[in-house]
Amino acid sequence: MSMTGSAGVTDKRGIRELGAEEKVGWDAVPQGVVLTSFDGLLDKGAAFIKPEERNYSDFNSYTATVASWRVIKPVYNRDICIDCQNCWVWCPDTSIVSRDKQMLGIDYDHCKGCGVCVEVCPTNPKSLLMFAETMDNDDALASWPEKKKKAKK
């Protein structure tokens, strides 16, 4: 269920199904529908803490998985990728995981399978391609297309 690549041991990414939280009564809901992003206090700005090291609260959508919404998925091919970060910039759900400008893989707990990452990938052949959700990633990589030749003038 977690991303391709290394996740920290504290990573709470996708630990629950969306909507599966405990349904507490009116007396226990937070005042004013104010939702905390993290448990406890941060000693520095959240932007300076890696996602897998943040102490996400149960209210945070990071802890919910929406993988079941997807019918096709992007598969990532490390051998072709040039780490241009285009997919990371364009992904509408911050589901491209990149550290120190090196692409690590896809957060399959939050990716909705929209295919924007594939559209914006500039390599030839593309380093990201869409496959059926049911297809095994290794099989997908084995069926990767060859480089396309430029048409003769």
Kindly list the residues in this chain that would bind other proteins in the complex (CB under 8 A): 19, 23-27, 29, 31-38, 41-43, 45-46, 59
- The residue length of the chain stands at 153
State how far the alpha carbon of 134 is from the alpha carbons of 45, 57, 80, 131, in Å: 39, 31, 23, 8
Shortest spacing between CB 82 and other proteins, in angstroms:
34
State how far the alpha carbon of 141 is from the alpha carbons of 4, 40, 46, 100, in Å: 13, 42, 35, 25
**Residue 99 three-state SS:** strand
Distance CA 92, CA 37 (A): 19
Instruction: Decide whether 31 or 134 has the Cβ nearer to other proteins.
Output: 31
Instruction: Decide whether 49 or 80 has the Cβ nearer to other proteins.
Output: 49
Distance CA 39, CA 59 (A): 10
Shortest spacing between CB 35 and other proteins, in angstroms:
4
Shortest spacing between CB 10 and other proteins, in angstroms:
18
Instruction: Decide whether 62 or 108 has the Cβ nearer to other proteins.
Output: 62
Shortest spacing between CB 32 and other proteins, in angstroms:
3
Instruction: Decide whether 33 or 132 has the Cβ nearer to other proteins.
Output: 33
